[in-house]
Every structure is written in C-alpha cells, then in structure tokens.
Chains A and B, each alone.
Chain A
Amino acid sequence: MSSITESGNNTNDGVTNAKEFLTFVLGNEEYGLEILKVQEIRGYDAVTKIANTPEFIKGVVNLRGRIVPIVDLRIKFNLGKVEYNEFTVVIILNLNGRIVGMVVDGVSDVMSLQPNQIRAVPDIVASIDTKYIVGLASVEEKMFILVDIEQLMSSTDMELMDSVAMH
C-alpha cells in the first residue's frame, strides 16, 4: 500500500498516531472500524431468538459461556441480500467489556491509517447515520467509511442496552 507509506512519511509524529482499522463489507459499501474494538471473527451459528425484539437483533449465542447478542447490520440498514451460510461472518466486538456480535457481508482487510488520511465526512449519504461516522479514508482508489462502532452499538437505535427508565 504505497499511498500509506508516502503519506506516513510526511509527518514525523504520524507513525505514532496511526490507527489500524478492520474493513468490512455491507451491501455495496466498504466500512472500517477500529481493530482494537474487535475481539474475534467467527462464522454464523444458530442463535436463540429473543421475544419482541426488532428483526435485526438476531438473538443471543453462547460464546464460551457468555451470553452474547448478535445483530445483523444488513437488516438494520437494509443492505443487500440477507442470507446465512457458511460464508456469513460475525465480527465479535468488545466495547468496553460489553461483547456484541455483528453480522456483515464480509471482512476484507486490516489497514493502517494516518490521521491525515482520514477526511471529514461530507454530506453524502451513507447507509449509516453520519453521526456514527468518524470520517472517510481513500486507499488505493477505494473509499472506506470509518464507523465509530462503540457509538453506533450503544445508541438507542440499536436497542442493545437498557434505556435508563427501565427496570
């Protein structure tokens, strides 16, 4: 990835500020999320449905003794065909100790980005609300939408956490 190397040389402090992103595919768009949030990547196993939850919350699975919810972002954002087969990928995220699985169309790469490679979000419309997008990155002619996955997953939209008033 020559573009990364070049821009990386432009700044002295750039090296220390570089962040690694896991890129994944949802429909026709490529996304990136900070790799530090990723615990593991798994295939899709049978889930236990939970009553009266939105369709994109697939249910819960047993991840080595922990009960972990699985969300399908393809359903949440109305992207592509929703199929579950041996190629279906679940990214297991560790968000400050909370474990959440997210179904995506595929996982492509890990890339290292310098701050100056990340551009502000224009007003273009991605499938994900811009408030969860930290920026855009262009690498080798491809554009990646960088998602603040923690913000997204803890938002009320995702219905993954208790709202304050519940008891």
Chain B
Amino acid sequence: MSIDMSQFYQAFFDEAEELLAEAEHLLLALDLDNPDSEDLNAIFRAAHSIKGGAATFGMTDMAEITHVLENLLDKIRKNEMALTGEHVDTFLEAKDVLNSQLEGHRSGADVDRDVQEEVKRKLKALSEGKPVSAAAEMAAAAASAAAPAAPKPAVVAPAAVVDKMRHYNIDVKALSEKDTANLEGELGLLGDVSSKRLDNGHVAFSLKTEDSEDDIISICAFIVEPEDIKITLQSAAAAPGAAAAPADGKQRYNIEVPELSDKDAENLKSELALLGDVSISKAGGKTIFALTTEDSKDSIESICSFVVDLETLVIKDAPSASAAAPAEDLAVASNGFIEGDGFGFFEPITPPPAAPAAEPEPEPAKPVEAAPAPVIEKKPAAAKKEVEKAAAVETTSIRVGVEKVDQLINLVGELVITQAMLEERISKLDPVTHEDLLNSLGQLTRNTRDLQESVMSIRMMPMDYVFSRFPRMVRDLATRLGKKVEFVTSGAATELDKGLIERIVDPLTHLVRNSIDHGIEVPDVRHQSGKNETGRLSLSASNRGGNIVIEVTDDGAGLNRERILSKAKQSGLPVSDTMPDSDVWQLIFAPGFSTAEQVTDVSGRGVGMDVVKRNVSAMGGVIDIRSALGYGTTMSISLPLTLAILDGMSVSLGDNMYVVPLNLIVETMQPQATDIKTVTGAGFMVHVRGEYLPIIPLYSLFNQPTQITNPVDGVLVIIEAEGKKAALFVDGLVGQQQVVIKSLETNYRKVPGVSGATIMGDGSVALILDVPTIIKMGQNNNSEGVYQ
C-alpha cells in the first residue's frame, strides 16, 4: 500500500509553527537562575514533537536541528547542565532557523545552509559543555569539521558521551588479514573496536562509538562493499528484566566457565566484583557470572585466568538468547529482544490465530533466566520525575481553515432560516392550544441565535488589527506636511468580520491621509483661526445595531460647500445651489473630483474618494460625511458585521422572489392613487411625507412579467442608498428573514442590480437586490423614458 505522506504536511506545518511559537514564548519568559522545570519540559517536548514529525515527513534538515536541540534540552531539564543565557540565545536562534526551514518546506523558500550549520554547531558545542562564542572555538570547530573521523577529545563530560554511546556488531564477509587490520584501524577512529574471525570466514567487529551507522558504513566502504557488511546495533545493556544500565556506560557480560567448586566460584566472584556488580548462577553444568562493568573483556579474562583455564572461558556480551528461530525479518538480539528494522518486541508476539495469513508462530524466545535479579528502577527519583509531569502549557487555540469556518457559518445561516420559517408557520397557530409548541420554539429561537452569534464570532477580529498601523503613519505624514496632529483611537476592541477587516484597511488609510492633508490646517493657520495649533484626528469604531460604524474625525477646516459646488459645476455634474449639505458632500465621491487647491503627493489628485466609496459599497457598507466649515469633518463608514448573512425583506414579483437588504429599506407602503404623480421626463413619482420619490417598477427594470403593473395594486418599498431615495415597486411583501448570502459570480457572473443570491426555505433560489445600483438604474430608465 502506498500512502501519500504529503497529505499530512499541512497539519505538520501548522503544528510545528504553533510549537515553535509556544517554545519561543516560553524561552523568552525563562528565569535563568531558577528555570521552571515544567517550562523546560514543555520546550523539550516541542523540540521532540517537531523532530518526530520532521523525521516522519522526510524534512531531515528540521529533524537534524531538533535532534541536537533536544539532546541539549534533555540535559538541562535533567539538571545535568545548568541553563545559561547562551543556551537561551542559541535556542532562540535555533527556533528562527527552524521557522525558516519550515517556511522552506511550506513554500519552497531558500534556507541559508550556513546559518543552519552554525546553529547546529553551537548546539552541539553547548551540549558538550563548551562555550560557543569564542573565536578560537569557531576555529576549533571548523578544524574538527574538516576531519570528522578524528578521535573524540577525551575531555568531554561523561554525561555527554554516554547517552550517545552505542555498541555495534559489524559482521563483514570474508576479509583478508590485512584488510581486517586496516578496517580495524579505520573503525578505531570512531571508537573502541575489537575484531574476531568467525568460523564461516566472516570477521566480526565490535565497535563502541557515538557515531551513527551511516558513519560506520562510510568508513567501511573504503575497504569492503556495503552489501557485504551487516551492522547490528547491540544494546549496551538492559537485558530483559535487568538493570537499566547504559546511562552509566557499563556493559553487561555473562561469563560462562565449567562448573566450579563453591570456593572457586566465590573467589572468582570476589575478583570480578572488583570490576563491577556481579552475580552468580549455575546452569547446565556451567557456572555463570553476570557482570556489569565498565571494563573490557580483556580485563575480565585476565581476572578469570587466576581461577580458570582460559580455553574453557566464554564471555558473552549479554545474556545469550538460548533459543528462538527468529520470525522472518525479526532477529533475536543479544539482549533477548526480538528486533526488526526500527521496531522490536520484548517477547514473541503472535497475531491471534483467527487472523488471516498469520505469521508462523516463532518458538518461544524466552531470554535466559540466569540473569541476576532485575533492578528495574535504578533511578527511582528520575522515574518519579517523569511520572509527575503535570499539565504543561495547554494549547489555547486550534487552527482551522477559514473555509471550514465559512461552511459552519453557512450551515448556521441555513439553520437560522429554517428556524425563521418554523416561527412564521407556527405563529399562525392558536397560541393557547399550542402553548407547549410555542414555548419550545421560543427556546429553539434563542438557542439558534446564540449559536449563530458564537459561530459568527469565530471570524471576528478586533479593529485594533487595523488601528494599530495608523499612529506611525499619522506621525510620519504630519511631519512631512509640517502639521501638528494628535492621534487618538477609540473602540479598538470592536470586532469585525475578518474578511471585512482586511478590506477596510485601504479605504481607511485613504481617509486618514485626506484628513491630515486637506482637513487639518498648518499650525499658523490654526493659530490665526483661534484653534489649538495641534490638530486632533480621531479614529473610532463602535457597534450600532447590526452594523459597525467606523469614523475618521478631524477638527480641521471642514468641507467648503461653495467650492465643492463650483468645482462640480465645472466638472459638469448635475448640481443645484439648493442641494442639501449631505448631497453636496456626496459630490466628492464622484470620479475625478478634487477641490484641493494644490495637488500634493499625499492626496489631492482626485483619485481615491470614488475608489473609497466603491470599496465600502462592495463591502455592503455606506459612507456618510458630516462637516462644518471651520470646525472639521467626520467621515463615517457603516459596515455590516459580516458578509455572510443579511437581514432581508423578501418581496414577490411574478413567479419570483427577491430579497431587499433590510438596512436599506426606509419603509414600505401601499400607495393611494392620489399619492402618485407623473413628472415629465422622470416617470412616476410618489409623494411620501412631503418628499417626491421616483418610482422604480422592478418588473420593467428586470423585464419580468407580472399581473401587477399599477403601483396602487402593489407595494412600494422605499429604499435609500448613498443619500438617494427611491420607491421600488413590487407585487407584494413576503416576509422578513435572515438570508445566507451566496455569490452569483462563483459559477456565473455579476448581474446588474443583483448583489448575490440566497437559498430559500423551499430550496429555490432568490436573488438579492443591489439597492444602490437599482436606484441608479431607475434614474437612467426614467430619464431615457423607457418607463411610461
């Protein structure tokens, strides 16, 4: 079976990124004199986890760094080494390197090899108890890097060596005496080596080294073919049930001699006891000494030679495995474990017989029981410490793809719609006879709303994300323009949908620039007008109803009505001197409109305000201006809290249903014939509360057949957008409900007058009306006289 590992990469990237961030956070908070052992454990674990993942997913560069990092951290957390500032610095460096490696794997970015090697070298040096900074050390490291096979200096702290010391058995096919000597010499560079010629002509080397199997293979490759070499990692100790010994570098031997008299046995035991821990047992006509010692076989032999004939002496590296036909790729290692490539079993395990194609049952491979009484918990304190690990830093966030959140929001939206439909249907029932049902529904309604709110909040981000980038910009800009500006923000905690937050940055930047450039006067001018020389610019965000309102306010010169009007006339825009202020201010959003007397390089080219407006509209928002000449200007952007859901009014037209955004509806009415007037060149108008509003018949705008063509028979929905009102004429109102907005453009295209679509309770599709565009389309329709 082949499994594509790359499918797990993303999960690993996210996980590693999170672990690195967490590790960095902990590192920065570490108290050097008294580091919290839980924190050290957590940092160790982060390195450990990344190493595991990196190795599994084939990101060897990360695995290498985390490996040395982990070694060093392990020593520190086990109190074998005291934590220093140098450690922390190097850890942070390593963290940065890992981050860049991660980025390298994620996006293919280049990673600086030298930096990686440097960090690896530092970590290695530190774990050997050496300083990393001195130039001499650098040189030494470079020299040793150039001669990797050089013998390890003997000065390294024992603790640093023993951990990594491995005992390999190297079996090499037929080898001449000379080659054997050569190879032994080469292997001697790696560590302690001894050789033995076997009966089958093979030569067995026994090598104790810190280096890896690969290093051994590359050394051997000078003399023998790699396929003629078989390397097995022999456990340095730890016979089953025996002392967990390798930590102290000792080796276990079983020394077999022909059965000795009790006296001789005692003598030899006391001699051997000089070398290490020894125990004695008898089996099969032999006396067996189990010895744990740091000394070599030679020392054992010389000791034994006082008592027994060396011809009859057998020294084995560990308890012999007295049986066991190994199953397939499993080999019974000298420690009695059944080992395969990268895994192993302490005892034979057979799949249950019921299993199909069960492996042939291996013969029981009971390890020799002659081993001395096990001393399992040799270091109870250490073991206890392991066990006592309490809850470390808990993960306080999870990473979820935005699309998953959006899907959730969509689903909840559908749920809200279903719930709304239920509510509507049930409202027609008699509340007395259905009291229980109504109560339950009330509960459902509340739960649904809560659920919706919670789900929506997942996508919400504080406005601070946007606000925080302004102080610097304001300062720089004010300095450049020779103005004094005090910048204040409020409501930075107000939350807004992530999608909107990202899109609001540009329009806001533009407005802030405009305020500093055109709004706030230079200190002289301000002084002359009796104002504080320092202008005030404020940026605020607040929730108002279902919307979020973001305002940019300055106490500058304010907009000049006369100048805007005259400029508009020059530009050929349709204006009148009696226009209300709000309409005049909207003129500055016309493409190409600018009243700035001087075009500056900051703003004032007239490019931008129309773009600002378009961006805000595209977000479903509106922008309003309040201004007083000489006192300042407020630009107010009102945005929906989210893009995904809309409060709408469904209206009917012929066989179809449309949704009008509720926030753009002023009111709805069934007009009387007397309210309706015909205006030449402007079609029908309706008289509403002292105003005459153009009537936009949706059926003619959308060319859709309907029975109702006289406004008196239908309904007028008074809509307002961008400071303009109109009366949309539809067949009837269906109801108010929340709808989930779906884009038409995903599979189709933009349709004029339609901002999106939604799916109704019955599964049919309803189009959502784009109110600002409809008002514009209505004007064109009327002026072209299409509508009679």
**Does B703 lie at the interface of the complex (its beta carbon under 8 Å from any beta carbon of A)?**
yes
**Does A61 lie at the interface of the complex (its beta carbon under 8 Å from any beta carbon of B)?**
yes
| Contact sample, A vs B, 12 pairs, CB 8 Å cutoff | A48-B656, A51-B751, A51-B752, A51-B754, A65-B414, A65-B759, A67-B743, A67-B744, A67-B757, A99-B747, A160-B749, A167-B750
B interface with A by C-beta (< 8 Å): 410, 414, 614, 655-656, 701-704, 742-754, 757, 759, 763-767
Q: Are B656 and A62 neighbours in the complex by a CB distance under 8 Å?
A: no
Question: 7 smallest A-B Cβ distances: which pairs?
Answer: A51-B702, A48-B765, A69-B748, A162-B749, A99-B747, A67-B757, A62-B759
Assembled-state Cα–Cα distance A65/B414 (Å): 10
Please report the total number of A residues contacting B with Cβ < 8 Å.
Answer: 26
- Shortest CB–CB separation between residue B763 and chain A, in angstroms? 6
**Does A121 lie at the interface of the complex (its beta carbon under 8 Å from any beta carbon of B)?**
no
Within A136-167, the residues touching B (CB, 8 Å) are: 159-162, 166-167
Which residue in B748, B752, B757, B765 is a CB contact (below 8 Å) of A160? B748
The residue on A at minimum CB distance from B655 is: A49
- Shortest CB–CB separation between residue B174 and chain A, in angstroms? 48
Assembled-state Cα–Cα distance A103/B752 (Å): 25
Which residues of the other chain, A, contact B752 by a CB distance below 8 angstroms?
51-52
Assembled-state Cα–Cα distance A51/B701 (Å): 8
Q: Are A60 and B765 neighbours in the complex by a CB distance under 8 Å?
A: yes
Assembled-state Cα–Cα distance A145/B314 (Å): 87
Within A19-57, the residues touching B (CB, 8 Å) are: 46-53
Q: Are A67 and B747 neighbours in the complex by a CB distance under 8 Å?
A: yes
- Shortest CB–CB separation between residue A80 and chain B, in angstroms? 25
Assembled-state Cα–Cα distance A98/B749 (Å): 11
Assembled-state Cα–Cα distance A151/B766 (Å): 29
Most buried by B among A52, A67, A68, A167: A67
Which residues of the other chain, A, contact B743 by a CB distance below 8 angstroms?
67
Q: Are A61 and B765 neighbours in the complex by a CB distance under 8 Å?
A: yes
The residue on A at minimum CB distance from B410 is: A65
Q: Are B748 and A52 neighbours in the complex by a CB distance under 8 Å?
A: no
Instruction: Digitize A6-18: 1 where CB-to-B-CB distance is under 8 Å, 0 elsewhere.
Output: 0000000000000
Assembled-state Cα–Cα distance A37/B561 (Å): 59
The residue on A at minimum CB distance from B740 is: A65
The verdict on A161 contacting B764 (CB below 8 Å), with A49-B656, A51-B703, A60-B757 known, is no
**Does A100 lie at the interface of the complex (its beta carbon under 8 Å from any beta carbon of B)?**
yes
Instruction: Digitize A61-81: 1 where CB-to-B-CB distance is under 8 Å, 0 elsewhere.
Output: 110011111000000000000
- Shortest CB–CB separation between residue A42 and chain B, in angstroms? 14
Which residue in A46, A51, A61, A62 is a CB contact (below 8 Å) of B753? A51
- Shortest CB–CB separation between residue A83 and chain B, in angstroms? 19
Which residues of the other chain, B, contact A166 by a CB distance below 8 angstroms?
749-750
Assembled-state Cα–Cα distance A59/B752 (Å): 14
Assembled-state Cα–Cα distance A96/B7 (Å): 22
Q: Are B764 and A51 neighbours in the complex by a CB distance under 8 Å?
A: no
Within A98-116, the residues touching B (CB, 8 Å) are: 98-100
Assembled-state Cα–Cα distance A98/B743 (Å): 12
Which residues of the other chain, B, contact A68 by a CB distance below 8 angstroms?
747-748
Which residues of the other chain, A, contact B704 by a CB distance below 8 angstroms?
49, 51
The residue on B at minimum CB distance from A52 is: B703
The verdict on A48 contacting B766 (CB below 8 Å), with A65-B410, A67-B757 known, is yes
Which residues of the other chain, A, contact B414 by a CB distance below 8 angstroms?
65
Assembled-state Cα–Cα distance A97/B436 (Å): 47
Assembled-state Cα–Cα distance A101/B732 (Å): 31
Q: Are B764 and A48 neighbours in the complex by a CB distance under 8 Å?
A: yes
Which residue in B655, B748, B763 is a CB contact (below 8 Å) of A60? B748
